[in-house]
Copies of this chain bind each other. A is one copy, B any other.
Amino acid sequence: MTDDRGAVFLLTDYGNEDEFAGVTRAVVLRRAPGAPVVDLTHAIPPFDVRAGALALARSVVHLGPGVVVAVVDPGVGTDRRAVAVTVAGRDDAPPGPTALLGPDNGVLGWAIDALGGAVAAVSLRAAPGGTFDGRDLFAPVAARLWSGASLNDVGLPFDPGSLIRLPWPRLVVEPPGSGGGAIEAEVLWIDRFGNAQTAARAGDAERSGLGEAVEVRVGSKLHRARRVERFDHLAEDEVGVLVDANGHLALVCRRRSAATVLGVRPGDVVRLHPVVGGR
């Protein structure tokens, strides 16, 4: 039975220190005994909706069936809606999550896209303004949905087209021409190892005519980098441009933090262009 229903997946900015995440887990289980509860991460930087939305989008395509709860919510204790959204799923993948829950602040948007787009949405029937919606609102509703309730059992339908969306990350791909082609891309994420994921994808490298030798501009500084397929193709002191595990172009080093070497942070925009006469 557990097998059919899948799991309840949690992503929050509650941190790993306080008992917030633990109590949220416990409430899901209290209301839905037997539900596997899977923590995606609780360490989204406080209030960083964009970081949460990106992490969620990276994660959801790898999840099995179930219900996803994402709580990164600078608007807790305000009038913003709390929503539940069902998704179409993808024909090219095994069954994934069928519903996502969270505040209507954009945190769910890219994950919904990645799961085939929204089919229906409801605004949760609950007094807004609480200060611990993970425990008091989202966990109980996730438990009900996991247990078989329908969207209409838990909220009032609205047009999913009206869901709040975050601005797309900066990405400009200039085709090769007299100027030589280039990619201008936002840094989306610095991971634990210091790899800097950009908004550009593998195909963007081809479209911009990027060769093996790349120049990376960060602010006013230029760094030499090399496109590689694997970490071990890099020398210890090189910067690499690699297609990462999410299909994005990432700036990487070998066993060092590329983010530190390059001095980049999430939200920075980097410019990649071919080195003229590159090796």
Name A residues whose Cβ lies closer than 8 Å to a Cβ of B: 2-3, 6-7, 9, 11, 14-23, 25-27, 29-31, 33-34, 36-41, 43, 46-47, 55, 58-59, 62-64, 74-79, 94, 129-132, 135-136, 191-193, 229-232, 242, 244-245, 255
Q: Check if B77 sits within 8 Å of A135, measured CB to CB.
A: no
Query: In the assembly, what is the distance between CA of A38 and CA of B29, in Å?
Result: 9
Query: In the assembly, what is the distance between CA of A122 and CA of B29, in Å?
Result: 28
Partner of A19, one of B21, B25, B59, B136: B59
Q: List 26 A-B contacts (CB under 8 A).
A: A2-B33, A7-B26, A7-B29, A11-B22, A16-B43, A19-B41, A19-B58, A20-B191, A20-B192, A22-B38, A22-B40, A23-B58, A23-B62, A26-B59, A26-B63, A30-B62, A34-B36, A77-B232, A78-B230, A78-B232, A129-B229, A131-B231, A131-B242, A131-B244, A132-B245, A135-B245
Query: In the assembly, what is the distance between CA of A20 and CA of B43, in Å?
Result: 12
Q: Check if B255 sits within 8 Å of A33, measured CB to CB.
A: no
Q: Check if B38 sits within 8 Å of A26, measured CB to CB.
A: yes
Measured between beta carbons, the chain B residues less than 8 angstroms from A39 are: 22, 25
Knowing A75-B232, A78-B230, A131-B245, say if A22 contacts B41 (CB, 8 Å).
yes
Measured between beta carbons, the chain B residues less than 8 angstroms from A191 are: 18, 20
Knowing A192-B14, A255-B47, say if A30 contacts B232 (CB, 8 Å).
no
The list of the 4 closest CB pairs from A to B, nearest first, reads: A30-B64, A132-B245, A22-B40, A77-B231
Query: In the assembly, what is the distance between CA of A55 and CA of B129, in Å?
Result: 23
Closest to A43 in B: B17
Q: Check if B2 sits within 8 Å of A74, measured CB to CB.
A: no
Closest to A131 in B: B245
Closest to A16 in B: B16
Q: Check if B62 sits within 8 Å of A40, measured CB to CB.
A: no
Partner of A40, one of B6, B15, B26: B26
Partner of A29, one of B23, B26, B36, B41: B36
Measured between beta carbons, the chain B residues less than 8 angstroms from A2 are: 33-34
